[in-house]
Structure 1
């Protein structure tokens, strides 16, 4: 068995069963510096407190407490233990990429062996934290189709190597076989930039958001406390204010320099200020799309596009499920065509604009009956759906408008739900089950018979679409019909 250092590789080769690679030697420093700094801060604070107490009491009791050299020795020992632990972790971490699998072995006390089929890879990210950017390194993170429970990470590789490795994995997932005589020909696919958001747009979207509404409410509360003279209660608002300003910073820094590009690998997203991320979503991996517009954003005509991607799951990293953080109607339609190229209607712009801004039965949308006003007096005309040749469009929401698009072949299961009041009114909710993610496709308060018809028709459409769906190997030639 041979083990190679990835920092010495200049081209990508298919690995044999005996060939393994290590990540970059600088990985322990990049992964462990936060833990080491935290230990130094905690122990250092204790040391300073001990020093202050010792100085204050030296005149009264002659001074007691731990000597300075013991405290420094404890800090040095803790840093050494953590550092050695990360070095051992690097030494015992190795990986290989074959034609069919990605394998990662790690751990020196508790060993862990992980393996993922390449044809089940759903999306791949190249992530560069701030310190990794200084060393020109990147983390490779890719998801497989198991609801986001097995995100595999390689931390850290040289940026060029991470991109070549991503290209090789995506090529194999797409059904492209590497020429064994020329393995280095697997290069990163070229990309064509589709859209780039300006910093001004990102700042505007951050300022005119729910965070600002929360900040306004907190500010009014502070003014009331000042007027009443309850100065002591102001301390309780400090964590809230810090949390709001942290939310502003996170929203701006994560969406900064957001760019969308198209390549044979799929849709590529680039974003981030301090930590940059290059995200690749292969074709056919998007399970559902949601276009949202908040109340404040109506003034500017802005929308946000989110995705359910197989393998992402319910992760805390919301940006990974965001296809477009803020955009106009034309930008939304342009970006939507990248992941949903065939809308299945002759007039897609009119249909989707009716889904975003329309009401009642515009462009063939079937909405809730008038008796649904007893349950939603302001939303019954907005609750609607339309089935196209390729997808089901679900529309709902008044303050926050939502249009959800689910390709027929991505329908997981269907459900009709009816509460007590709905039973009296002859209404029913229709829900499509998608993979875990931020989108829950739903049509509220349909007529009972309409809901039953939609349940049967959508089940038949989904079954037919799955039979004729393109192969998971999206770059592999499809066999002629009849074979």
Structure 2
């Protein structure tokens, strides 16, 4: 059986994850955000809303302003500009506008001055607010990942925001905004500290002195021009992609991405609903057609948003974990450190089956609130891909899997069942409750991994590392007891991947319960990925051929047979 070749280590150098961390912003002192932060955190919205109000209530606003300063001297019939020019009030108006601008700038300055952050050896802390102060802290030993987001407008001026993902509900700490260069360096520092390794103080101090000297002697105009130029370059060419980091191991053609959305279950269901409504309108009441348009419009917007989010998708290994980048207009780059993936699911709908496409999702702590719809996008690590793409992605997010376990995933798991199926499936006496999927409905327990296989129309395979498993339960109802079957549920953190498996032989379920309990304790004791070493982390399968060689040899054997 062919072994998975080790990936070459990421090179050292000036990149954001190579070598030692050198950011002067990670020295344990309080630092301020980018000076334009108040504008992008709400000031821009305030300006837009004010413009809309003034445009719609122009006459009322002018009456209020002019009557306050010139009672009885201004009538609504007059043009305000002619009134100002005719009464030599240009200087007064300009001073008034200047006063308003000074007040706004003063408020923005206070917001910026009181918005600070610091990175110590134990925490990432952010303080904000003028009248009502807030102080958020993310312990580094609980960091689940660091997301770097670059909204389209912020990219034009070379700005980005960091989101430190915590291990709890609404536990994320946001650093918004920083310059893109500073954000990349700070992200590398946070991941380095979260790995259990301390920053090189001497190198950081030397870098800090060098940056300070360069700031003092630098030309402000040249710096601003360079920042805008880098922002425009980032908007044209996509997310930051340091030269010393490996390229994406998966490339999704735009045509495949669009076709996958058209052939998704929600699209087919919407099309069937539209056909039913149109048929009902033709033979019933035509006004029902008007109820379709809001649904179609909303679904169309959702589809376009889903496609644009998945464009420029890339996934690659780094020293600090798996780097995933996606987004056409707003670019998001997240790094998932080792040991932060709690469950993985490979799924395939019946509409994708002729094309050989799959998608891969994970359960991981996102640190967001339950009502935050944006957390769903972080669950997908492969929107659509072929078999080789799935192999590459699984090699990154599940680096502990050995070559002997790939047959359990592909031949026996996603594509199965085959001859000599190792999965424990629904017994013959209970096939009535799984009339289509009884052959696929089953589980397989490895040395350190639990596999749950389900579905015929929508095939899914759940992979649960025992070191991340929270608990497992076995449940029976009255009919289950009569048939001597049981339902099993593997508990992980909440997410898209389901750990439920029903209608399994009772004795097999009880045996699984005991084996998982013992295996989870053993795997958790041997697992040290929560405090990883950035110089030794290795999660890369650049070439899926070695990974799939064993399973494909098995396929050839079946064909000869």
**TM-score normalised by length of structure 1:** 0.84
2:508 is the alignment partner of 1:450: yes
Partners in 2 of 1:292 and 1:269 — Cα distance?
Answer: 19
In the other structure, the counterpart of 1:27 is 37
Deviation at 1:361, TM superposition (A): 7.0
Q: Secondary structure at the match of 2:316?
A: strand
Q: Does 1:358 align with 2:416?
A: yes
Deviates more, 1:359-368 or 1:204-213: 359-368
Q: What is the Cα deviation at residue 443 of structure 1? A: 2.0
Number of residue equivalences: 449
Q: 1:16 to 1:347 in 2, by over 3 A?
A: closer
Contact 2:437 2:455 (C-alpha < 8 Å) held by counterparts: yes
Q: Which residue of structure 1 lines up, in the alignment, with residue 165 of structure 2?
A: 143
* Distance change >3 Å, CA 477–CA 199, structure 1 → 2: closer
Q: Which moved more, 1:122-131 or 1:19-28?
A: 19-28
CA distance in 2 between counterparts of 1:390 and 1:361 reads 24
- SS of the aligned residue for 1:415 comes to strand
How far residue 234 of structure 1 moved from its aligned partner, in angstroms, is 2.8
Name the CA distance, whole Å, in 2 between partners of 1:259 and 1:128: 16
After TM superposition, the structure 1 stretch with the greater mean CA deviation from structure 2, 20-29 or 245-254, is: 20-29
Partner-residue secondary structure (3-state), 1:280: strand
Distance 1:229 1:423, change over 3 A: closer
Alignment partner of 1:41 is 2:49 = no
Q: 1: distance between equivalents of 2:284 and 2:107? A: 53
Corresponding position of 1:282: 337
Corresponding residue number in structure 1 for 2:282: 227
**Structure 1 partner of 2:460:** 402
Give 1:162 deviation, angstroms. Answer: 0.4
Aligned ranges 1:9-88 → 2 under 5 Å: 12-13=23-24, 15=26, 19-32=29-42, 33-41=44-52, 44-45=55-56, 88=110
Which residue of structure 1 aligns with residue 10 of structure 2?
A: none
Counterpart residue number, 1:438: 496
Cα-to-partner distance string for 1:102-137 (whole Å, 9 max, x where unaligned): 110011122111111112111111101111111111
SS of equivalent to 1:149: coil
1:218 deviation in Å?
4.0
Moved more, 226-235 or 113-122: 226-235
Moved more, 28-37 or 289-298: 28-37
- In terms of mean alpha carbon deviation, does 223-232 or 442-451 score higher? 223-232
Distance 1:242 1:320, change over 3 A: same
Q: Once the 2 structures are TM-superposed, how far is the Cα of residue 37 of structure 1 from its aligned partner?
A: 2.3
Instruction: Please tell me whether residue 181 in structure 1 is matched to residue 239 in structure 2.
Output: no
The 8 Å contact of residues 190 and 263 in structure 1, kept in 2 or not, is answered as no
State the Cα distance separating 1:36 from its structure 2 match.
3.8
Q: Which residue of 2 aligns with 1:60?
A: none
Report the Cα offset of residue 23 of structure 1.
Answer: 1.0
Task: Write the deviation string for residues 355-408 of structure 1: whole angstroms up to 9, x where unpaired.
Answer: 002127754111111122121211221111111122011111122111001111
Q: Which has the higher strand share?
A: 1
Counterpart in the other structure of 1:61: none
Aligned to 1:332, what secondary structure does the other structure show? helix
Distance 1:220 1:85, change over 3 A: farther
SS in 2 for 1:197: coil
Q: Which has more helix, going by share of residues?
A: 2
Following superposition of structure 1 onto structure 2, how do residues 257-268 of structure 1 map, counting pairs within 5 Å?
257-268=312-323
Match of 2:326 among 254, 271, 284: 271
Note the C-alpha offset of 1:286: 0.6
**What's the counterpart of residue 343 of structure 1?**
401
> Which protein has the larger Cα radius of gyration, Structure 1 or Structure 2?
2
- Return the offset for 1:242: 0.9
> Please, what is the CA RMSD of the aligned residues?
3.2
Between 172-181 and 266-275, the greater mean CA deviation after superposition: 172-181
Equivalent residues of 1:312, 1:437 under 8 A apart: no
> Using the alignment, how far apart are the partners of 1:311 and 1:345 within structure 2?
30
How does the TM-score come out when normalised to structure 2? 0.73
Q: 1:34 to 1:476 in 2, by over 3 A?
A: closer
Offset, 1:261: 0.9
Distance 1:292 1:249 in 2: 22
Give the superposition deviation at 1:95. Answer: 0.2
Give ranges in structure 2 of 5+ residues lacking alignment. Answer: 1-20, 63-74, 81-92, 209-241, 537-561
Deviation, 1:344, is 4.5
Residues 409 and 47 of structure 1: is their aligned pair in 2 closer, same or farther, counting only changes over 3 Å?
A: same
Compare 366-375 and 26-35 and name the one that shifted more. Answer: 26-35
Is the Cα contact below 8 Å between 1:288 and 1:434 reproduced in 2? Answer: yes
Q: Is 2:245 the counterpart of 1:191?
A: yes
Give distance in 1, aligned partners of 2:78 and 2:490.
67
Instruction: Say which of 442, 456, 464 aligns to 1:384.
Output: 442
How many angstroms apart in 2 are the aligned matches of 1:415 and 1:67?
A: 78
- Paired residues of 1:14 and 1:98 also in contact (CA < 8 A): no
CA distance in 2, matches of 1:80, 1:213: 56
CA contact (8 A) 2:343 2:463 kept: yes
Contact 2:448 2:466 in 1 (8 A): yes
Match of 1:158 among 179, 182, 189: 179
Contact 2:344–2:462 under 8 Å retained in 1: yes
Alignment-derived partner of residue 347 in structure 2: 292
Report the Cα distance in structure 2 between the residues aligned to 1:80 and 1:251, rounded to whole angstroms: 42
Which position in structure 2 is the counterpart of 1:95?
117
Using CA pairs below 8 Å that are at least 6 residues apart, which structure has the higher relative contact order? 2
Which of the residues 243, 254, 263 maps onto 1:208? 263
Q: Which runs of 5+ in 1 are unaligned?
A: 1-9, 52-63, 479-483
